[in-house]
């Protein structure tokens, strides 16, 4: 049951009305943030065009638009590591989406981690001139071998 998106003509209504009026940017994309439905930790940040958003709503699984490949990207379609959508939220001006998902498999990140956000950035109060640049802190270990999953 695919329905039209609501008009964005009335800015106040976009913020306060209970009608879905997503805003796609000049590239036809809206940012979509996948979070773990239990811990709320951010798993990854990706983008959707209208077609991938509609497929997400239809399937109940996250479907993105790959900016590098310029194509629809049903996350996990080949590996089986799909993201089951438990809830979708939109923000005040409806130009961003948060997906609460159940990540199937051992992680969402192509680099082998449970989350793409596996490194922390120090504040300036935590660095010294001898560091040369901002040293990141590794926060989680790889949960699977990406070569085995993606290259075999």
Chain residues that interact with a second copy, rule: CB under 8 A? 1-6, 15-20, 31, 33, 35, 39-42, 44-45, 57-58, 60, 85, 87-92, 96-98, 109-111, 113, 116-125, 127-129, 131-139
> Any known ligand binding at 91?
yes
Closest CB 75 distance from a second copy, rounded Å: 14
Burial degree of 48 (CB within 10 A; 0-12, 13-18, 19+)? buried
Those residues with Cβ within 8 angstroms of residue 71's Cβ, 6 or more apart along the chain or in another chain: 65
> With respect to a second copy, which residue has the nearer C-beta, 111 or 148?
111
> With respect to a second copy, which residue has the nearer C-beta, 28 or 122?
122
Closest CB 77 distance from a second copy, rounded Å: 18
> Any known ligand binding at 108?
no
Q: Which is it for strands 96-103 and 71-74: parallel, antiparallel or unpaired?
A: unpaired
* 92 close to 20: Cβ distance less than 8 angstroms: no
User: What is the separation, in whole angstroms, between the first and last Cα of the chain?
Assistant: 38
């Amino acid at each position: 049951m695919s329905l039209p998106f609501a008009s964005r003509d009335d800015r106040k209504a976009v913020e306060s009305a209970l009608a879905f009026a997503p805003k796609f940017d000049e590239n036809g994309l809206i940012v979509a943030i996948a979070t773990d439905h239990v811990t709320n930790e951010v798993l990854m940040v990706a983008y959707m065009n209208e077609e991938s958003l509609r497929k997400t709503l239809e399937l109940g699984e996250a479907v993105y638009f790959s900016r590098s490949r310029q194509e629809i990207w049903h996350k996990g379609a080949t590996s089986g590591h799909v993201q089951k959508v438990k809830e979708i939220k939109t923000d005040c001006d409806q130009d961003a989406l948060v997906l609460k998902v159940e990540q199937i498999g051992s992680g969402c990140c192509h680099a082998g981690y449970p989350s793409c956000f596996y490194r922390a950035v120090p504040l300036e109060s935590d660095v010294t001139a001898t560091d040369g640049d901002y040293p990141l802190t590794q926060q989680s270990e790889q949960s699977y071998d990406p070569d085995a999953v993606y290259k075999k």
